[in-house]
Structure 1
């Protein structure tokens, strides 16, 4: 179709907007739920932290199960009925009589979010021409990055000037709109041949995770762990160094840096290969975290936000593009591959606060950010040693050659 030859076709734009709404609700609630647990349900600090973290557990379960079942059940069904379930579990926040109920709601809400986001991440690949995979994924990734920036800001502002009920109503409206959009969007399910179908139905480990992208997923885990130091502890750190007011702009400059550089990094990926964007992402995140450790004034805090955005924001989308490149000839494995990749990112962000929080008992905030800043350097070294872009490209060419050869052999046999 002519429409599909262009990157900004209506389907690509629609799924990107749907993804933005899904992630915006996630961040809207994530940033305030611990406060609500403490104020409304008298939760301890540890219980409030669990109320936030249990959401990630639900998301991880969804990525494991839905990544496996995505092509079996169908992308269309997972997106649409997952959206309805996401709506129901968000409405459920209106009834939270005690902590036990809140924990159950958070777990189920996280699972439903994982369902929908796993579907959108796979569906968008069908609307991106392969020659523009880097550029397309980076534009699509803007929906996630902007949600990560504006979600916490909007959530905190609404909670400050209104109440939790208002935040919920806004979240419910956003999910209703995104769910309606998912029913209007023409989603095509992937046809799976009998051989692949039998493999997907088995309970072997390779039906839950895509082994070809385990390495980039492991790097995602380390990068997510490093970034969690910002996501979880920036507010406390800003209070400790007396920069609370200006810290509210940290994620805005983060989003600005990502928005301005995403198109360029995507084009660099397509033209010069993954090395041209992956190495800078490791370096920028290290510089951003090191800059945070030495921050004493407002402009330094904001400058570190720019560097962190250039680092983690660039890695997140281009790591996804690496997955698409690796699985170019296996479209039926793309959903599982993307699920595996996001498991790495989610796991890093999920366990990071606990690991770094325990470490914080023995060191200062400044030292914690120095430790976190070493992790991207470790990623750069591992990437250099174990990832070979030319080898991946060669394997893809060989697989494509074999695919084009098979029909000819079949015809000869006939």
Structure 2
């Protein structure tokens, strides 16, 4: 009976942190897909400035994660989550008064800071309350909330933008933020206990040490995540333009819906498989599928092929993402889970933010089909990196003392 209690996953706190994460992410994703249009229509911004208005959000998230990962041991994961949500709500309210593009860009950075802090807190809480024996399954369920928002958020955002007004976007976003705050209030997070042998003197904390900002145990899988997320950013940023180029606009509008459905169906199984058989049993097939899906995308000339690529990429990248986060947690001591989460998300954000910037220079020379063919090779590089950084030594890494 004691084992059953220890391995219980679906607690009230687990459900609350999933709902908190979902509503927070919803307030973010409905703006990401609409802010470039808003900047162009409201401020008359150039295409490059409008693109910056959408992606500069990630800059704020990256810098805030560096601070949050370091400070979470001292502040606590629940307080970190609440501070982040409140900061996000205040930032969203500033959209209503942003009257020029530069003030608007500042607000986007501030919103990114709030989201970076809150998601670090939420990710650390979920890592604390998930049993280690069910980390793959737990992270799979937890991150499904984020996956749903990548499908639902853009649909809501585009609908409001086209049928209501830009103002309604900010109203919906701030309501979602307030809902997440109230959902998070009853959430209970375990206290972060630092072993006496691991305590760092105050003087040492004030000096710059890389270990104060990044978790070494999570770095290998975080680096693989950076490579693979660079490839995925090509889909996130250019699938709409690509579908227009190949005259598949209607099919392209369903891309992320099909992508999300395949993840929702597969993740409960892949998470359990990781817990029982190890990450390699999921990650190798996932990255191979992602490479196949990216290649099919580069060759898409029909709606069937485009949506088939969406489903395969959901099975591939969608499952890799949750397994990578679960590994970052599984390989890290309990008292450094905050740093492990922030390390993983920093590298993920860098990949998602760096990719579109670089690809903007590549597309004019190779086109979107050529880009996706190149990104097929990037996924293969990620597969090779995974093998050497983790896959070939999984047994030793998972059974070493922490």
Tell me the TM-score normalised to structure 2 length.
0.95
Alignment counterpart, residue 123 of structure 2, candidates 118, 121, 142: 121
Show structure 1 runs of 5+ residues with no match: 400-414
Q: Distance in 1 between matches of 2:229 and 2:389?
A: 19
For 1:63, the equivalent position in structure 2 comes to 65
The 5 A counterparts of 1:132-281 are: 132-193=134-195, 195-198=198-201, 200=205, 202-281=207-286
Deviation at 1:191, TM superposition (A): 2.5
Deviation at 1:149, TM superposition (A): 1.4
Q: Distance in 2 between matches of 1:105 and 1:174?
A: 18
SS in 2 for 1:362: helix
Q: Bigger CA drift: 374-383 or 312-321?
A: 374-383
Q: Give the RMSD, CA atoms, in angstroms.
A: 1.4
Deviation at 1:59, TM superposition (A): 0.4
The 5 A counterparts of 1:8-407 are: 8-193=10-195, 195-198=198-201, 200=205, 202-327=207-332, 330-387=333-390, 388-395=393-400, 398-399=401-402
SS in 2 for 1:319: helix
Deviation at 1:203, TM superposition (A): 2.2
Q: Distance in 2 between matches of 1:80 and 1:127?
A: 17
Deviation at 1:126, TM superposition (A): 2.0
Deviation at 1:214, TM superposition (A): 1.2
Show structure 2 runs of 5+ residues with no match: none
Deviation at 1:76, TM superposition (A): 1.7
Deviation at 1:361, TM superposition (A): 2.0
Deviation at 1:201, TM superposition (A): 5.0
Deviation at 1:377, TM superposition (A): 1.0
CA contact (8 A) 2:7 2:133 kept: no
SS in 2 for 1:19: helix
SS in 2 for 1:143: helix
Q: Distance in 2 between matches of 1:393 and 1:47?
A: 45
SS in 2 for 1:184: coil
Q: Distance in 1 between matches of 2:155 and 2:270?
A: 26
Tell me the TM-score normalised to structure 1 length.
0.93
